[in-house]
Structure 1
């Protein structure tokens, strides 16, 4: 019998322990009665992520696709036509277009942006009240400002974009809300593309539009819109949760803060341990078996779906031992899969790491002695089994 995932995400790691006890592969039920194989062991998940017998193209390889209604709350996760859901040559074609935005040189060129945005956010916090919501006032606006500048999203469209992205990750959303949100998001992005065609610029959205208009075989109109959904939604959510959990970890582990301050561990250590300890994306829908695939004697049959358990993999006791659930930036092995693995490894990983390694030391330099403004047990998780973060992060800055 399938284990029903809690759509509220109130205890992601507790559920991971339950799933681990059920076996290396176990059936889970998603909203709408859809079932999938959950894989949370680090070695098993890494092997499957690198196996080309698993596809992300629901239309080609998911046997339940024909029965999935348009208002399924997770529909957008599997129906978009971009590199996230493409397979084989189609994936390579679409990834090549987006990868130009995240070359090492372009990421490094963004360093002054990140430093300036960080400084401006800290100035605003410094001028504000003693208690601030650091998710709302710091962790969220930094990566969204970076990605919106990169892709030329004007200020007036950003509130609507934020609302739409929040609903995409909200796994408690009703079918009606999910469908309406999908329609709103497509309307917003079609409007952005139309505006840019009327008044072209030189940002990365303009580059994608030019690729589409010059040669439709490189990018269809649907792929153009859906690629924007990918980069503007997934392009910041991971970093928001990374910053959120890194701040929370340092506020609740004073010994770790002291080790960072003394130079015993680096900010890069903090970032990697946070990615392991609290994977920003807990579960990622979906992959599908192109043919039968066996894991430890359990067969994922052709056409069945697989849910990647990144949060569970980061705390795999077979890799990280009895301290797997503990935050320790000094641990020697911080192996995680929080940015994926294989052909679908996250293109934005270097940018996310750079943002965190700039923002975190700047925050603790500006405010050397912050403290949570509520007991840690009162922090509420996002209503999601996909996005692993807090609904708010109230901090006493001084």
Structure 2
């Protein structure tokens, strides 16, 4: 654990040990509700131009605690069922093949293709747009505002503009679906909003739940596909294990989730009371004081040498212990994890089967990370197909 400074000189305790993280993520003394348990927020010490404002200000299950979290998650779960996710597989396969056709067209004659732009990005954004009934002409707007949410070094003007545009886009979506309901998750959430009863979603909770489901549902999967493809391209011996039957594509995806979590650090949680980490197996004599913010460092946890051994930083599809926290843990475990895994399980084998000679178009060390300490992926992934 380390004391860190977030943008805006906001302090937090970053926890990198997977064992300690698991205990904290299931500890009733750790909240996700800033309105009840974070004095910095309660006292108005952060403004709407803070880069992480949207991560804290939203009112949905991401920032809920206790009974409120159970209420919101139960309502969302009704619309986001395992059956609905599984039924998406044929459509995901169809979109994947269409995108690979486009990649082949772009990469003809040995030209360089930005795999992130042409494949990793459009697949999840098209899937999530169709799932929520977002018109195709709004996909560009969606991408821009979600990118803005994850851009943690954005300036004040960009932050406030992104926040305003986000609610404009989602407000238009809700209005359209109220007028013309469809077989999509937005219509399902509106039904949860408009149903009679004390458990229903408020209008703000409806909008903020869309923020969570659409934002988390596409950015994280973009990075999962990006990182898994990158890992296999930079570790040909691991790709050979799969092609020769010593490992599976699922092994590659789970190992990628462990070694390169799509979300590196997730803000924020808050200590409801003083928490002695020594009692949780952490550093003796170290206390997180009540009201302090906690940052879950998932990428670091996935490479913890105490848990995974001295080669914890190495991508190894034959590794026996691939357990990870990439989708969180406990009651806040990501509701969309099955969809993210499904998209990767379709996309990654299809990519390498279609282009068996796929290679990076330049040295791996020249690839740049996205401008975020939350999102963990590459700004581009240039490849040659042949």
TM-score band w.r.t. shorter chain: over 0.9
- Compare 171-180 and 336-345 and name the one that shifted more: 171-180
Q: CA deviation at 1:100?
A: 2.8
The equivalent residue for 1:339 is 327
Alpha-carbon distance in 2 for matches of 1:257, 1:241: 19
Query: 1:267 — aligned with what?
Result: 249
Counterpart position of 1:37 = 13
Confirm or deny that 1:115 pairs with 2:128: no
- Provide TM-score, normalisation by structure 1: 0.92
Consecutive unaligned residues of structure 1, counting only runs of 5 or more, are: 1-24
Q: Contact 1:102–1:351 (CA<8 Å) still a contact in 2? A: no
1:103 Cα offset (Å): 2.8
Conserved? CA contact 2:15–2:296, under 8 Å: yes
SS of match in other structure, 1:328? coil
In the superposition, the TM-score normalised over structure 2's length comes to: 0.95
For 1:203, which of 177, 184, 192 is the aligned residue? 184
RMSD: 1.1
Alignment-derived partner of residue 104 in structure 2: 126
C-alpha separation between the residues in 1 aligned to 2:190 and 2:328? 28
Whether 1:58 and 2:34 are equivalent positions in the alignment is: yes
In the other structure, the counterpart of 2:267 is: 285
Compared with structure 1, are the counterparts of its residues 113 and 227 closer, same or farther at alpha carbon in structure 2 (3 Å cutoff)? Answer: same
Superposition pairs for residues 184-333 of structure 1, below 5 Å?
184-215=165-196, 217=198, 218-295=200-277, 296=283, 297-333=285-321
Structure 2, unmatched stretches of 5+, are: 278-282
Residue 171 (structure 1) aligned with residue 149 (structure 2): no
Query: 1:99 and 2:87 equivalent?
Result: no
SS at structure 1 position matched to 2:64: coil
Give the conservation status (yes or no) of the 8 Å contact 2:79–2:189.
Answer: no
How many residue pairs align between the two structures? 374
Q: Aligned partners of 1:336, 1:280: CA distance in 2, in Å?
A: 12
Equivalent residue number for residue 280 of structure 2: none
Cα separation, partners in 2 of 1:56 and 1:279, compared to 1, 3 Å:
same
Between 91-100 and 274-283, report the one with greater CA deviation: 91-100
Give 1:216 deviation, angstroms.
6.7
The residue aligned with 2:346 is: 358
In the other structure, the counterpart of 1:369 is 357
Tell me, yes or no, if the aligned pair for 2:261 and 2:299 is still in contact at 8 Å.
yes
Give the equivalent residue in structure 2 for 1:87. Answer: 65
TM superposition shift of 1:125: 1.1
Moved segments of 4+, more than 6 Å: none
Contact 1:164 1:184 in 2 (8 A): yes
Which residue does the alignment assign to 1:382? 370
